[in-house]
Amino acid sequence: MAIKELQSEEQGTSLWQDAWIKLCKNYLALFGLAVLGLLCVVSLLTPWIAPYGYEEQNLILGATSPSVEHWLGTDIFGRDMLTRIMYGGRVSLTVGFIATAVALLIGVVWGAVAGFVGGRTDAVMMRIVDIMYALPFMIFIVLLMVVFGRNILLLFLAIGAVEWLTMARIVRSQVMALRKQEFVEAAHSLGLSQWTIIRRHIIPNTLGPVIVYTTLTIPSVMLLEAFLSFLGLGIQPPQSSWGLLINYGVETMEEYPWLLIFPGIALSLTLFALNFLGDGLRDALDPRTSKD
Amino acid sequence: MLRFALNRLLQAIPVLLIVISATFLLVHSAPGGPFSADKAVPPEVIKALEAQYNLDQPLWQQYVSYLGDVLKGDFGPSFKYSGRTVNELIAAGLPATAELALYAMLVALVIGISAGVIAAMRPNSMQDYVPMSAAMLGICMPSFLLGPLLVLVFGIHLEWLPVSGWGDIPGDKIMPSITLGTGYAAYIARLSRGGMLEVLSQDYIRTARAKGLSERLIIFKHALRGGLIPVVAFLGPAFAGLLGGSFVVETIFQIPGLGRFYVQAAFNRDYTMILGMTIFFATLIILFNLLSDMLAIWLNPKLRQQQAGGNN
């Protein structure tokens, strides 16, 4: 009983609380968190709070600059830009989260297995990662989209399959380093089972870098999606994403610059927020950078 | 050093083979052949075309003969531009892309390193925050947004610079180079700041300061060499990124380069073109990774000794 109480007390002053306090002092990171939270809420509620229907056109109205009825203006079909950007954001965020989840899953499993098993298995697995690092993935994704058609599911998989490599490296090095730590050895000599050690010591201590890197993967995935959609190789109409909206905006930017500028702001602001949040989390969660 | 280079070159061979095989299989497993796409063509014509491009042979035979051709440096004819080979198209697009990549890299290095070094000289001051916030802005402003915005402001409204082309009108190379280089300038700024901060806290810098050397001398003579190692190691991946970025920039500014050809080939389903260019890009990227690794080792005495130790 006494030991249990002691343990829970130790968890009370954990890395996590410490990290949270540090994060709260970082206004840019908090701003990032707020933007991300707002974005998630808006995306979830879009069908109910969007000012107009997604397919609502007004061909007589055509493209108009921002006004009281249409806060962000309308496009050449008279479609409300705010509505389009809200629906586009849903797609962009979904791609961001799902592709990152794919990358997270592959990367964590790969890295953890390599780090745990060690020896020859580790050497072979990390060699594969090294080889894949050398491949031109941007080009491969274009290739995949051409060969298999522009399928959104494939987009998730393709982007996820590209972004897991760094995650695998981070998890592996973390697991390897942890295995040699005194407190893990102590746990071993106390007779704790392998699974308990993994659950108690390895997972919580690997979680920090994994969270940080996940936060930084989401913006790079969203950027990749926007890049492909801009080229016309990503999201296909009638679906829409910020990259696609920017693509349309470029075509008519001379006459209607707001069609380019508003989706551009939406994308940049989101990337900005996520990057600041990731940087803030790194400062808060990485014990090595927390000293200065 | 030589041994390291040879070793890495040898390692690159299986990687390239994997690339060629994977690309070949992918392209050939595509649903619908290259000629089945748009119009209703008589079956005899398709047969004749397939025979012309060896598509009637079994897959492994096509693979072996393609591999043989690639080893000789021959990527075969283009599917869509009849009468032109992939080699000719690559040769036509390479100069513009290489020049664009070079200028973009120059933009990235000059802006990035200066910003990073300036920031590292006074960490956590305005001199640090301003360039680093600008770098963050550069990272979050993708080329496909920055390019059109530059065109809108400097091309259309101010009419200072031409909005498209490459080498036709004086000044038409400025905006594409800046568009492509800015993102990398931002990364390089962050890398060089980190590298410089680490080096500046080392003992030999303290010694130099104790000797009473000027700050400028310390930075340029002592710190820069070590501080820029992360930047040099980033050059290989950056080059790969520049090739990918050239897809967008060449499309926006209508530059007749490899990137635009690749995107067009992707839309046209020009299979031999995609296959050839993917292999070409992969080879380039592997080569540049090797070069930047070697440069990083050459700059870092510790790694150099490790390599030398490995030789004995």
Domain harbouring A237, CATH code: 1.10.3720.10
Whether A227 is in a domain gets the answer: yes
What is the chain A residue with the closest CA to B28? A147
Residue B307 has pLDDT above 70, yes or no: no
What residue type is B261 in one-letter code? F
Identify the domain containing residue A98 by its residue range.
Answer: 32-63+71-284
The count of residues in chain B is: 312
Chain A CB contacts of B150 below 8 Å: none
- Average pLDDT score over residue span B93-100: 88
CA angle B241, B244, B246 (to 5 degrees): 110
Which amino acid is located at B221 in the chain? K
Give the pLDDT confidence score for residue B306 in this predicted structure: 62
Q: Give mean pLDDT, residues B147-155.
A: 86
Mean pLDDT value of segment B10-23: 81
pLDDT at B104: 92
Would residue A18 count as lying in a domain? no
CA A22/CA A35 separation, integer angstroms: 19
Q: Output the CA torsion sign for B112, A217, A109, B11.
A: negative
B286 touches chain A (CB under 8 A): yes
Q: Above 0.90 for ipTM, yes or no? A: no
Residues contacting A192, CB < 8 A, separation 6+: A200
Chain-chain contact of B269 with A140 (C-beta, under 8 angstroms): no
**Cβ of B152 under 8 Å from any chain A Cβ?**
yes
Interchain contact, A246 vs B144, CB within 8 Å: yes
Give residue B64's pLDDT: 82
Whether residue B140 and residue A148 make contact (CB cut-off 8 A), yes or no, is: no
In B26-176, the DSSP E strands lie at none
For range B118-128, the mean pLDDT? 83
What is the per-residue pLDDT for A185?
83
B101 touches chain A (CB under 8 A): no
CA distances to A1, A76, A165, B163 from B153, rounded to whole Å, are 70, 22, 39, 10
- CB contact, 8 Å: A249 with chain B? yes
pLDDT in tens, chain A (292 residues): 445 555 554 545 566 777 788 777 777 888 888 988 998 898 888 888 777 777 777 777 777 777 777 777 777 777 888 888 888 888 888 888 888 998 898 988 888 888 877 788 888 888 788 777 766 677 777 777 777 766 777 777 778 877 888 888 888 888 888 887 888 888 888 888 878 887 788 877 788 888 888 888 888 888 888 888 888 877 777 788 888 888 888 888 878 888 888 888 889 888 888 888 888 887 777 655 543 3
Scanning A195-224 for CB atoms below 8 A from B yields 219, 223
How large is the average pLDDT for residues B267-296? 81
Measured between its terminal Cα atoms, the distance across chain A in Å is: 38
Q: Which of B26, B156, B244 sits opposite A143 (nearest CB)?
A: B26
Q: Average pLDDT over chain B, rounded to whole?
A: 80
Q: Report the residue from B243, B244, B289 with minimal CB separation from A134.
A: B289
Q: Is the pLDDT of residue B109 over 80?
A: yes
Report residue B41's pLDDT band, with 50, 70 and 90 as the boundaries.
low
Question: Mind telling me how many Å the CA of B167 is from chain A's nearest CA?
Answer: 23
* Residue given tokens 């994994």 in the structure block: A210
- Please, which residues have CB within 8 angstroms of residue A60's CB and are 6 or more apart in sequence? A78
What distance in Å separates the CA atoms of residue A161 and residue A137, rounded to the nearest whole number?
A: 9
Measured CA to CA, the distance from residue B174 to residue B158 in angstroms comes to 15
Banded pLDDT at B39 (limits 50, 70, 90): low
Average pLDDT on B130-149 reads 84
Q: Would A97 be classed as within a structural domain?
A: yes
A272: nearest CB among B136, B241, B285: B136
Which position has the token pair 């410490």?
A: A18
Give B-chain residues touching A230 at CB under 8 angstroms: 144, 248
Residue A25 belongs to a domain: no
Alpha-carbon distance B271 to nearest alpha carbon in chain A (angstroms): 9
Contact B15 A134 (CB under 8 A): yes
Give the residue from B144, B151, B273, B274 with the most A CB atoms within 10 Å of its CB, the best one to mutate. Answer: B144
> Rg (Cα) of chain B, in Å, rounded?
24
* Cβ(A122)–Cβ(A114) below 8 Å: yes
pLDDT value of residue B310: 43
Q: Min CA distance, A201 vs chain B (Å)?
A: 31
Residue A113 resides in a domain: yes
Does the residue A27 lie in any domain?
no
Asked if the structure places residue A159 within a domain, the reply is yes
> What is the count of structural domains for chain A?
1
Other CB atoms within 10 A of residue A35 CB: 17
Measured between beta carbons, the chain A residues lying within 8 angstroms of B194 are: none
What pLDDT score does A134 carry? 65
Residue A278 inside a domain? The answer is yes
pLDDT of residue A290: 41
pTM, two decimals, is 0.79
Asked if B15 contacts A135 with a C-beta cutoff of 8 angstroms, the reply is: yes
Instruction: Say which residue the tokens 């491009």 belong to.
Output: B53
- Beta bridge mates, B85: B77
pLDDT digits (tens, 9 = 90+) for B183-209: 888 888 888 888 888 888 888 888 888
pLDDT of residue B312: 36
